[in-house]
Structures are given as C-alpha cells and as structure tokens.
Amino acid sequence: MEVMSPMVRSLVEPPSTLHFPLPSPPASMHNTGNLKTPEIDVQSHDGLDSEPDTLERPYPLPPKSRLNQVLPEDLKTPDNFVERDPRLIRLTGIHPFNVEAPLTDLYDEGFLTTKDLHYVRNHGPVPRVEDADMLNWEFTIEGLVSKPTKLTLRGLLRDYEQLTYPVTLVCAGNRRKEQNVARKTKGFSWGAAGLSTALWTGVSLVDLLARACPQRGARYVCFEGADKLPNGYYATSIKLSWAMDPERGVMVAHKMNGEVLHPDHGKPVRVVIPGQIGGRSVKWLKRIVVTREPSDNWYHIYDNRVLPTMVTPEASADLPEVWKDERYAIYDLNTNSAVCYPAHDERVVLGQVEEVYKVRGYAYTGGGRRVGRLEVTLDQGRSWELAEVTYPEDEYRRAVEGDILYGGRVDISWRDSSFCWCFWELDIPLARLQEAKDVMVRAMDDSMSIQPRDMYWSVMGMMNNPWFRVVIHKEDGALRFEHPTQPANIPGGWMERVKAEGRNVINGFWGEKAPGEEDGVVEAEPAKEISMVDEKITRKITIDELREHEGEDEPWFVVNGEVYDGTKFLEGHPGGAASITGAAGQDATEEFLTIHSENAKAMMPSYHIGTLTPAALATLTSKESQPSLPDKTRPVFLQPKSWSPATLTSKEKVSPDTKIFTFTLDHPSQSIGLPVGQHLMMRLRDPSSNEAIIRAYTPISSPTEIGTLRVLVKIYYDTAGTCGGRMTQALDALPVGQTIDFKGPVGKFNYLGKGLCSINGRERKVRKFVMICAGSGITPIFQVLRAVLADKEDPTECLVLDGNRVEEDILMMKNLDEMAGENSERCKVLYTLSRPLESWKGLRGRMDRGLFEREVGRSDKEGKGEVMVLVCGPGSMEGSVKGALGGLGWEDEDLLFF
C-alpha cells in the first residue's frame, strides 16, 4: 500500500488535519497593514488549522472534495503527476489543461466550488513542487521599492497575519463559444462554466507591499509565475493603487478551501485578485515587481484584451501597437449571468410535473460592485420580471469577531465590496413557458451597468456578456430547452443550429426573421475559406479501409474528417514523400492547416476520395488512437509519425537577430536520426489560443552528435507597424528548461555520399554542387557541404555563394571559411553584401545574373545533370535565382530549392 506524505494526504482529508511543521515563531505579532486586528498566535495556528474545528458558523463551508487520480490521458504529458477529476470538460485537447465543469454540476455544488470542479486555465505545463519543498518556496518583491524582499512560504506563514475569505474567479473567456459560433476568434471555446468560487487563505498584498515601501513614481505591480511557456514566464500587472487598497482585497494565497493549493491552482503560492479577470491572478508566484509602467510581458500584451470589433484575426497579426494599447486591456469583470436550470436538452413532460418550473442560474459583476437585479423575459425583451437574488457572500459578513477559519481571520464585515457570484431564481408557470419561444435573462450591477442584448464580437472573444437565451421547443407533450452553445467541440445549442440553417446569429434577432424581411433566412456571409473537398465525392470510408492505407505505397490521410489519397503527390510534394507517408492513416488536420498555404488547400479536391464514417472518425480521434510517446530508450530520436519532446538547455546569440538553440534529447546516447539534406518539424503552441505553430528547420548538429540537437534560428522581431515571425519570437521567448516537440525527417533531398544523392527516392550522380543561400538559408547548405567535405575521398566540388545585407548577417562564416581553407582544391566560398561597409573586402551587390554568369556560368548541355544547384533563402531571393539561372540555360531539374 502506497504511503502518502502529510501534504498529499491533506488534499484528500478534512482540512482540520492539515499541519505545517514550522520553526518556533514569536509569541505574538501585529498586522502591519492598514487594518487594526487582534494579535495572531502563530504557534497556536501554525499558519493553518491544526486542531479539529467544531465551531458552528453562520456562513457556508466548502463541500467535501473527492479523491482523484492521475488520469490516463495525462500520463503522456508533462502534467503526469497531477490528480484531476474526470468530469471536467477539456477545452484545448489533452494538454495544456484548460477545463470547465459541466454547468449543472458546477451549480449543484453550491456557492463554494471544490478543487475538483473549479475551472482551470493553464498556458503550459504545471510546475512541479514536491511537498517537502513547499515551505522553502521563494518569491521576491523588487523593483521600485526601498526594501527589496525575498520571502518563503514559511516566512509568509510565520511573519504575517493570515486572512480567509471567499472570492469568485472568472476567466475572461467565459461564454466565448458563443462568439466563436458567430465568427471565429483567436481563443478556444469556453462555455458558461468558466468561473468558480473558493475560500482563499493567505496574506493581504497591502501588508507585503507596505513592508517593501514602494517609491515615488511607482504606479504598477507586476506578478510573474513559475510556469515556463513558449513566450517566457507568464506575467501580468495591475495598478499599484488597486494593490494598496484594502477594499480591493488582493491576496497572496497558499490555501484553497482549507487545503494546500492544488497544482493546477498554483501550488504552493498564488495571487488572488478579487473582482478582476482570472488572468490577473498569477499562479505559482515567483516575483512581485513594482514599476512605473504596465508589464511588458508577452502575455500581458497579447492576452486578456478586448480589441475594437473591426480588428479581424487576420489583421491583428500586423497591429502590435494596437495590442500594446492599455485602453484595450481587461481588468475588472463586466456584468454577466447565465441560466443553469433548465439545463441544455432538459425535457419537462407536461402534466407529469408541478405546474410551476423554477428557472435558476448565477450572476456576477466586477470591481467590487454588486449585482443589484436579475431580470427575466419570456417575450424577447418586451417585458421583464424580477428574479429573487441571494447573496451567500453576505453570510461571511456575520462572522463573529476573532473567527479563525483554516488559519485565517474571517472578517469582511467592514468591507463594502462584493467579490462573489450570486444566485437567482424565478418560478414560472409551465403554461407560460409553453407559450414562449425562449427564456432570456440579464443582470444589472449597482453602477447600473447592464448586460447588452447584442454581442460585442472581438478578436480574442473575451468578456462576452449578451443576454443569455434559452430556446423552448415543444415536442410530444413536453418542453425541451436548448442553451446557446455547449463548451469545447461538444455539438449542440441553438446558435450552431441557426447558423447551420444559413441564418446570421448576430443579426439582432437571434437569427430569426427581422422586421421587413420576407422570410426568416438571412443570407449567410460568403465563406472565405477555400473548399478542400470534391462535392461530387460521396464515398464513406471506414476505419478499416483507412488502416489499409497507412503504409508508404498508397498513403491515405485525414483532414477535418475528409480522406485524401496522397499517392499521386508523393513525387511532387515540396517537403518530400516523407511529409505524406508520415501522416498516412492518421488525422493530419492540425499539421496540414498550420503549415500549408491557400494554394495548397485549393489543390486538395484533386486528392479527395471520401469522408470518414462517424464511427471511423470517433475511433481515429479517440484517446486510444492517438500516437503514443516513443520509448525514451529508443536509439533514434526523430519519429516520422509521432511528436517527440526535447528540452531546451541553452541559447547562444551568434548575431543581433540569430541564436543557436540547443535541446537535450530523451536519452544521452540517442542519435537525432536526420539524413543529410533533410529537415525536421518543430511544434510550439500559441499560448493565447493553444493553436499549434509548426515550422520546418534544418539543424546544424552533425550526424555523429548524440544526446543533443542544435538549431540555428533567425529571429524575426516585431518592428514599428509590423508583427514579426510568430514561430521565431515564440521560440526566442521559450525559457530554458521548457520542452517543445519534434517530428521527422521530411524533405525530398538526401545526400548519400561521394556525389550520389537521392531526390524523391530517385538516385542521381553529380560532380559539383553550386550552393546559393542567404541569411539562415545557410543551414541546409551547411549540412550538405559539411557531409561532402568531411569525406576526404569524396571528389565532389562545391561552390558556395552566400548573399547578405551586412557582414554581421553572414551566419556560420567562421565554419565556412575553415572548411573552405582545409579543402581549397574542391571548395570555394564567396560572400556578397548589398550594403557593405567601406572596410568590406569581399564581393559587393546583390546576387544577380551578372554574378551567376561570372561564378556559375551557363548550363553545360553536354555535361547535363553533372552539376546541381541547391538554393535556400527568402522567397524573393529564390525567385530571382530561378529567373537568372533560367536565363543562363539552367533547367528546373538541375535546381533544387530547399
């Protein structure tokens, strides 16, 4: 039987059993914040409850949490140590973990939500903190403060007053699925359960900042977590005036519902910012930085924003200044509400139940304001009725003086602010529901801010709060209720149905007939996406038929449930046959849509052969059918049909905008497994949308290297008015210690040695390579050149023409010069610069026809095929090279573009 540590046991036993072994603290202490409170006996409370609590309390206590396990789907992810509730609905696939509870389950738990059903928003892997290390967890307070401080959890418990109070956290993406149905945003599809309430225990941020003494001119407080992500550590900021206001209730918390923080919720320490979007409450806290300006962290700028509605997802990529505009940043929550009962697809049989149905739901607002009213309409807003609203948060204001719960003082009686959701209900006769088309609700807070009727669509899909509408269907003596959407990819909801019928769900009339229209159908907006199917194809393909074609001879693959035969394109695919055979028999949707251009998508109907049956699609996309992680002890790292993770161990800057990224493989004796001249695929995920970013790279590692992988990458940074490279900037921001995924090999060219090469499986003998490159296009050229020159018996000649703007743009110049110097009889390297300094001794000007005519010459028709030109560089350069060499008689079969 496995023995649990005390910390782990505390997650599954009543909170009263929790105990931190602390060193002997002072006998008493005083709160250093603005509130005068009784002395706290740290020895008695030990920072947490250590004795059974029998006090009857006038406020709700949390329901008992469940004993969960690590779920099978998490075992192959970095979160393979985190225990989770299987009821949670995953919104972004298996990993990272972004989930909400079924709406009725969340409501049924009551005012307080267990850790089991509390929503989770993780941008990447969960930092692992062992129980034994919790008390030594460190975080700092730094920046514009007179007394920079380093704190541990032990010190937080020993030296500061502990507080316990309820807070509702809400993801800014709550109800985003409705916006995604109307028009796709950059965010994933939250339903209406992206919120939860818990009792948080910790220390007031006011106390912590007061001891650090913010300096004159400080205006913001930045928080940074320990989660390593593609664009750096997660961080954000709030105004210093808010952080220093006791009424705002900002807290550094270490307990949730009396239990040590669950790993998904920030174990061991997190920030809790009541009344603001959940994205400001940083988990796994490592740094508190006081600054003059808002955070410049990637996640503060490119997440949690409501951009103007006219900014499209396509245009947003080229508007860095818009993203950086603090006017569009979200802090306080807006007013929102939802119907929980009747549930989606709930049926009420008429004549067999009470004559009255109790419609119920939740409401919340932000900034400490209070929901003042909840209104219900059965006639689409022509008339309204007030629902009864209850505020369980108010019961905590009746706590007795000196009440200590979970080691923290319960005292919000003095505070006017409200930071929790409330519940509403209204009894409606079934006869009235039978007459109505729908039930709609709206909330108003005490600033008279009210939910709008219509949706405000924005590129991130955040803060969605139009009237919540439940449609009523009359079916065979019963009423069936239909919510707007269902979370994630779960089908259902009147919005999806209306859109499928060709109606506009945001026409102001919920897709129904607008006044003055002849019928209720609104002409659908013309589809912008290119059709990838042949409409004449009606064939249904079973999973067994698909499995028969997962080999290399007749590879079939699936995109969006449609089946394609890649056999005819094996020779012509720019990425080589391996790009197709690697996807054979698999769902290639993510990789295909991420990598391929509109032109490639337009070609797809030619290869379309049928549609997977529903059963086949379910089997293909089931957890059991997903490629498993390769065995870590395997001799070769790269796998053609599955992604393999590797860990970033170093970044070496080799030019102002270029770095060498070194990754550690699964096993120290593992070879990369990349043939000379071929490439590998690298995969990151956009932290805001979880969409995959996939690009092909040629590493500079030698074929004999084991255990490591080195990739030279030119970083395309944002410039004024232009967004840079999505992949390269994400890679540049990747913290050391983070993992990314690799797959391969891919590519149509393979150098076999001694002048023999293979192109799409056909061998060819050459006596000379002309290698033309620019910038980071040197990487595949370097790979082939090194292989040729490493073999002293290889007679193949090489001419390298490397064009750049300035000398510092020439990559791997030292390596190239050394190889050319040691092999001068068969290798020549020439550099040309378009913007050289006066001191430059090499060639000047762009690579044009004149340069090629002098150095490469016209095609030798008699020696046809003996010279091959390898080209790699920007698209504009490749185009000019092809045109110039074509004018000199070189034919396409002698030119190979990487």
Asked if 833 and 842 count as a contact pair (C-beta separation under 8 A), the reply is: yes
Q: Which of 174, 180, 304, 804 is catalytic?
A: 304
Asked if 703 and 297 count as a contact pair (C-beta separation under 8 A), the reply is: no
Which amino acid type is present at position 266? G
Report the Cα–Cα distance between both ends of the chain, in Å, rounded. 57
d(CA 62, CA 165): 12
213 is in an annotated binding site: no
| φ/ψ (deg, to 5) at 578 | -60, -25
Q: Which of 74, 303, 438, 445 is catalytic?
A: 303
Q: Is 518 helix (H, G, I), strand (E, B) or coil?
A: coil
What does the buried/exposed string (b/e) look like for 163-196 if buried means 16 or more CB atoms within 10 Å of the residue's CB? bbbbbbbbbbbbbbbbbbbbbebbbbbbbbbbbb
Active site (annotated) includes residue 804: no
Nearest in space to 777 (alpha carbons), one of 754, 801, 757: 801
- Sign of dihedral through CA atoms 207, 209, 215, 221? negative
Q: Is 603 helix (H, G, I), strand (E, B) or coil?
A: helix
Q: Is 21 helix (H, G, I), strand (E, B) or coil?
A: coil
Quick one: which H or E segment has residue 168? strand 163-170
For 656-738, list the strands marked E by DSSP.
Answer: 658-664, 679-685, 692-697, 708-714
Which residue has tokens 């290639």? 588
Active site (annotated) includes residue 303: yes
Active site (annotated) includes residue 68: no
Which amino acid type is present at position 734? L
Burial of 7 (0-12, 13-18, 19+ CB in 10 A): buried
Asked if 42 and 158 count as a contact pair (C-beta separation under 8 A), the reply is: yes
Q: Is 43 helix (H, G, I), strand (E, B) or coil?
A: helix
Q: Is 814 helix (H, G, I), strand (E, B) or coil?
A: helix
Q: Which two tokens stand for residue 855?
A: 């150095």
Q: How many CA atoms lie within 13 A of 3 on its CB side?
A: 2
Asked if 247 and 415 count as a contact pair (C-beta separation under 8 A), the reply is: yes
Q: With helix as H, strand as E and coil as C, how does 357-378 read?
A: EEEEEEEECCCCCCEEEEEEEC
Residue 347 CA: distances (Å) to CA of 102, 353, 491, 635: 17, 11, 18, 58
Asked if 499 and 493 count as a contact pair (C-beta separation under 8 A), the reply is: no
| φ/ψ (deg, to 5) at 242 | -70, -45
Residue 527 CA: distances (Å) to CA of 523, 530, 596, 751, 866: 11, 8, 19, 44, 49
d(CA 495, CA 511): 8
d(CA 222, CA 509): 43
CA dihedral 699, 701, 702, 708 (to 10 degrees): -130
Q: Which of 105, 116, 171, 872 is catalytic?
A: 171
Which amino acid type is present at position 58? P
Q: Which two tokens stand for residue 161?
A: 């007053």
Q: What is the Cα Rg of the chain in Å?
A: 31
DSSP type of residue 833: E
d(CA 8, CA 527): 52
Pairing of strands 220-229, 232-239: antiparallel
d(CA 153, CA 271): 13
Cβ–Cβ contacts within 10 Å for residue 613, how many?
A: 16
Which amino acid type is present at position 68? N
Which residue has tokens 């609104």? 522
Q: Can you say which residues are annotated as belonging to the binding site for Mo-molybdopterin? A: 171
Catalytic residues, by residue number, are: 171, 303-304
Q: Can you say which residues are annotated as belonging to the binding site? A: 171
